[in-house]
Structure 1
Amino acid sequence: MADSNHIPLTASELGNLWMTYQDKTMLMRVLEHLLEHVEEQEIQQLLQSSHDFSKQAVETISTIFKEEGAVVPIGFTENDIYKNKPKLFDHLYDLLFLQMINKIGISLFALYSTMSFRQDIRDLFKKLTDNSQEELEMVTKILLEKGILVRSPYVSMPKEVTFVQDNDYLSGYNILNKTRSLNTIEVSLIHHAIETNLVGLQLMIGFAQVAKDKQVKEYFVKGMQLSMKIETTLGEFLREDFIEPPATPAGKATNSTVAPFSDKLMMYITNLLSTFGLGSNALGGAFSLRSDLPMTMARIALDIYAFAKKGGEIMIKNGWMEEPPQIEDRRKLTSS
């Protein structure tokens, strides 16, 4: 029987490795800027460890590509970071950013693992998933210790099992035609969406301040406006039930107008977060049992999609969108 490690890569394995290469080279560049300005040794060690692991993952993927006779992607290089520039974000934003990236990583790498067949590829994605979970655990621990991480609200513990009595529960209205209160599943999804969106908002503010291209700068301003709209819209669901939406007292964008990153890198990060936002909204809509929530999530998803589509157009216009590996164009091959 053939050694599974020498079986050619499948399309899903090739595509997922390519995506991971893009994400990890992006993360390395961001961490290099954050490491220039980190203020605490504990955080410095965490950021450096994350950078070292990302570098190792990139080298592993490069080796796999070379062994398979595939071109190694460009991803993001030293040309995408400008060293010795003023810090773009205040103290502790580095942890909030790393927290968000690892949330994305856990979701993606676990999914990639289920789409892989070769043992070495499955092992790689398992290692990536485990590392993301470990980093998220360390980040969460530090943020909680510093009182920065906002917990979702506490509720009274249920004392008995109950069942839904009528369809008004699904419609969001009871017999008095008043919106029923949120359940804990809905609260958790809304809280998480707002929490992630707040980190993205500060990212958009920082990027808008330093972007060099006028169209890119205007795009990030639109990202700021979209983030604020999402926070207001989802926050209203919590306020109606007398729950204060999450907010963080730390990790803001500074007043710097000097870019530490290329516009290409900042656009890619924004595209990645938009894609994650679409997935989060789909999840929120799918698990919400009040009809007004899925409808709201769907409207938000349309806004995010339009924003992401515009971002893709800007990246293509500027030659910043690296093309993923393509399958053979059989129509073209058979027509020649």
Structure 2
Amino acid sequence: MSHQKALSGSELATLWMTYQQKTMIQRFLEYFIEKADDEQAKEILEYTHQQVIQYIQQIQSIFTSEGAVIPVGFTEEDVNVGAPKLYDHHFDIMFLRQFKEISMGLHTLHIAMAYRHDIILLYKELTAFTQTVYERCVSFLQERDVLITSPSVTMPKRVEFASGPSYMSGINLFSDKRSLNTVELAHIYFAIEANIFGMQLMTGFAQAANETEVKKFFIKGKELSKKIVTDYTQILLQSDIQAPSTWGAKATDSKVSPFSDKLMMYCTSLFCSFSLGSNALGTTFSLRADLPLKLLTVAKDVLTYAQDSGKIMAKNGWMEQPPGTEDRNELTK
């Protein structure tokens, strides 16, 4: 009989993180399925929900076989499917698309931290599943003209090389800044798109939050998203590039929360973490000197906001701790 190696610390960590995220999206999907007013959207949501449950059960099985406690994650207590609609048409698929953007990145990162064959296979399957759902979400939103793509540019007719340090500095003889290249455009547009969505997400969360401190936190998040959209839009306009229009789906006027404050806080923290990662990539691949400085300033603001979320969650007993390593100092007392 073959002997299965014990889980490494890295594998335990990534499985724990995946469990938190999958149980979170499970609860959002339960609510969105109940409130879906588009049959095709409901089909996408139900397919995703069924698959997510299977992966949750698979992770539970791994924890049990390893003698590890199953995390709490998020339960039925964290969602109220009977609450009125908190968001308007198509927001459910927009939310799922944004979440799958996060999942694609995390699964790729996690497979690089895996050593056991079954764990590698799990993340390969999760990656393929996530990509499938993402593609279905994009097709759905484009068919309904509610997903604005990034601006088109003139196709290059010849290969060009930077002719000196002025390209890196962003100096142009005929303007204050050289125009953006398409790599820089891609990262800036991506950030604008994500924060337009974030504004709507935070608006609904702020309306529905039960705790006053949590409500203020979400209002602060909405204002932070607005600031990021404004600052990045200004960068596009300096290169005569039109910024994206606001998406159609918005928060309704409901003040009844379908989600627990704990669930909404964790969701916000997750999106903040993804934003920090995206900012890091944007900083790395931006060649115009002023852009990394702008991206780093935004990253600092997002990091501060994310730290506030951690404090609120810990204060209210909503922050489940990841599995720890042995405290040797305590054990040797």
Pick the TM interval, shorter chain.
over 0.9
What does residue range 53-132 of structure 1 map to in structure 2 within 5 Å?
53-132=51-130
Deviation of 1:233 after TM superposition, in Å, equals 0.7
Counterpart CA distance in 2 for 1:37 and 1:82 is 11
Counterpart CA distance in 2 for 1:209 and 1:90 is 14
Of 171-180 and 151-160, deviating more is 171-180
Aligned to 2:240: 242
The 3-state SS of whatever aligns with 1:258 is coil
Matching residue's letter, 2:167: Y
Counterpart CA distance in 2 for 1:199 and 1:91 is 14
CA contact (8 A) 2:184 2:282 kept: yes
Aligned to 2:36: 38
Matching residue's letter, 1:210: A
Aligned to 1:270: 268
CA contact (8 A) 1:21 1:61 kept: yes
The 3-state SS of whatever aligns with 1:252 is coil
Counterpart CA distance in 2 for 1:150 and 1:78 is 34
Aligned to 2:145: 147
Matching residue's letter, 1:165: S
What does residue range 174-213 of structure 1 map to in structure 2 within 5 Å?
174-176=172-174, 178-213=176-211
Aligned to 1:297: 295
Which structure 1 segments of 5+ residues have no match?
none
Counterpart CA distance in 2 for 1:302 and 1:20 is 26
Deviation of 1:82 after TM superposition, in Å, equals 1.4
Aligned to 1:308: 306
Deviations 1:259-317 (A, max 9, x none): 00000000000000000000011111110000111000000000000000011000000
Counterpart CA distance in 2 for 1:28 and 1:70 is 22
Matching residue's letter, 1:55: I
Aligned to 1:24: 22
**TM-score (normalised: structure 1):** 0.97
CA contact (8 A) 1:210 1:259 kept: yes
Deviations 1:188-230 (A, max 9, x none): 1111111111111111000000100000000000000000000
Deviations 1:138-182 (A, max 9, x none): 111111111111111111111111110111111111235620000
Q: Report % sequence identity.
A: 46
What does residue range 221-236 of structure 1 map to in structure 2 within 5 Å?
221-236=219-234
CA contact (8 A) 2:197 2:247 kept: no
Matching residue's letter, 1:181: S
Matching residue's letter, 1:102: K
Note the aligned Cα RMSD (angstroms): 1.1
**TM-score (normalised: structure 2):** 0.98
Matching residue's letter, 2:52: S
Deviation of 1:123 after TM superposition, in Å, equals 0.6
The 3-state SS of whatever aligns with 2:157 is coil
The 3-state SS of whatever aligns with 1:302 is helix
Aligned to 2:156: 158
Counterpart CA distance in 1 for 2:262 and 2:162 is 50
CA contact (8 A) 2:147 2:247 kept: no
Counterpart CA distance in 2 for 1:181 and 1:120 is 48
Counterpart CA distance in 1 for 2:245 and 2:121 is 38
Deviation of 1:2 after TM superposition, in Å, equals 4.4
Alpha carbons of 1:32 and 1:149: their partners in 2 closer, same or farther (altered >3 Å)?
same
CA contact (8 A) 1:149 1:248 kept: no
Matching residue's letter, 1:111: L
The 3-state SS of whatever aligns with 2:257 is coil
Matching residue's letter, 1:254: T
Aligned length, in residue pairs: 333
Counterpart CA distance in 1 for 2:171 and 2:20 is 46
Deviation of 1:111 after TM superposition, in Å, equals 0.9
Matching residue's letter, 2:294: T
CA contact (8 A) 2:192 2:229 kept: yes
Query: Post-superposition, which runs of at least 4 consecutive aligned residues in structure 1 deviate over 3 A?
Result: none
The reply on whether 1:325 has 2:309 as its aligned counterpart is no
Aligned to 2:277: 279
